[in-house]
């Protein structure tokens, strides 16, 4: 879901870029004879004025560009750390915002699986026909692969455990299937299997948090090293 949101932002950015480019084309800025004349009387925005006079710009742009060779390694460390921070935030997104719920909070449905729908940009959909004939569709948070479900569970009596979750794309709450077992599976086996997965995912959350914490420390460390190198102005000899 997070990746889908990023894709929407990317599409919006492309559309806005196209609109701005078209306006510049209509103004003749793409003509080879066009010469842009700077307006000295035009006031700078508050942010630009602040940025041009800021200590941050002086340290990390002006002085760093004057010491390119010695600042190369810290800058490399900064961008690598920033990349890993972004990666671990994406990996831990589901665990933070869509965590598995305790067994006691799950709802149990019994019925026959009628279909399984694949989706490229979001969770797959599991369709089940309940005992009273009602057709229910659930987001699939299952460990089983969709191909396995289609080959071994379509048309069979099953027990599905679902949890209530929320999503931006869904504009509210939805039900997500988190466990799928055969109808003859004992309650004890269902409980033990689910708790094993639940405890494993909690452990994984702490692992991602550790990786994120280490990456963030390297990020801050790289910025601190850049500040230390550029804390004094470059002396012109």
Query: Digits of tens for pLDDT over the chain (237 positions)?
Result: 444 555 555 566 677 767 776 676 666 655 555 555 555 555 667 888 888 888 888 888 888 888 888 888 888 888 888 888 887 777 776 666 677 888 888 989 898 988 888 876 677 888 889 988 889 888 887 866 667 777 777 888 888 889 887 766 556 778 888 888 888 888 889 889 888 888 887 777 777 778 888 888 888 988 898 899 888 887 765
Report the pLDDT value the prediction gives residue 58, as an integer from 0 to 100: 87
CB 130 within 8 A of CB 111: yes
Report the pLDDT value the prediction gives residue 1, as an integer from 0 to 100: 47
Cα–Cα distance for residue pair 11/88, rounded to 1 Å: 24
- Measured CA angle at 146 (ends 121, 127), to 5 deg: 85
Report the pLDDT value the prediction gives residue 40, as an integer from 0 to 100: 53
HSE (side-chain half, CA atoms, 13 Å) at 122: 14
Q: What is the dihedral of CA 211, 216, 217, 221, to 10 degrees?
A: 140
Report the pLDDT value the prediction gives residue 3, as an integer from 0 to 100: 47
Task: Tell me the domains of the chain and their CATH numbers.
Answer: 103-203 (2.40.50.140)
Report the pLDDT value the prediction gives residue 29, as an integer from 0 to 100: 59
Report the pLDDT value the prediction gives residue 50, as an integer from 0 to 100: 83
């Amino acid at each position: 879901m997070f990746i889908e949101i990023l894709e929407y932002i990317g599409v919006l950015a492309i559309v806005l870029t196209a609109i701005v480019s078209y306006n510049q084309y209509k103004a003749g800025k793409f003509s080879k004879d066009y010469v842009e004349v700077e307006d000295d009387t035009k006031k700078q925005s508050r942010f630009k004025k602040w940025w041009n006079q800021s200590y941050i710009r002086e340290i990390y742009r002006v002085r760093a560009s004057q010491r390119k060779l010695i600042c190369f390694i810290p800058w490399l460390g900064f961008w690598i750390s920033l990349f890993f921070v972004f990666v671990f935030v994406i990996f831990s997104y589901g665990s933070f915002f869509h965590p598995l719920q305790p067994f006691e909070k799950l709802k149990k449905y019994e019925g026959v699986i009628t279909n399984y729908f694949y989706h490229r940009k979001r969770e797959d959909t599991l369709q089940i026909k309940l005992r009273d004939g009602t057709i229910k569709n659930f987001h699939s948070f299952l460990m089983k692969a969709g191909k396995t479900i289609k080959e071994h569970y379509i048309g069979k009596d099953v027990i599905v455990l679902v949890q209530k979750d929320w999503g931006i794309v869904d504009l509210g709450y939805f039900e997500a299937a988190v466990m799928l077992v055969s109808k003859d599976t004992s309650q004890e086996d269902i409980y033990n299997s689910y708790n094993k997965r639940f405890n494993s995912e909690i452990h994984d959350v702490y692992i991602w948090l550790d990786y994120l914490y280490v990456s963030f420390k390297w990020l801050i460390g790289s910025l601190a090293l850049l500040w230390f190198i550029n804390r004094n102005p470059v002396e012109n000899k």
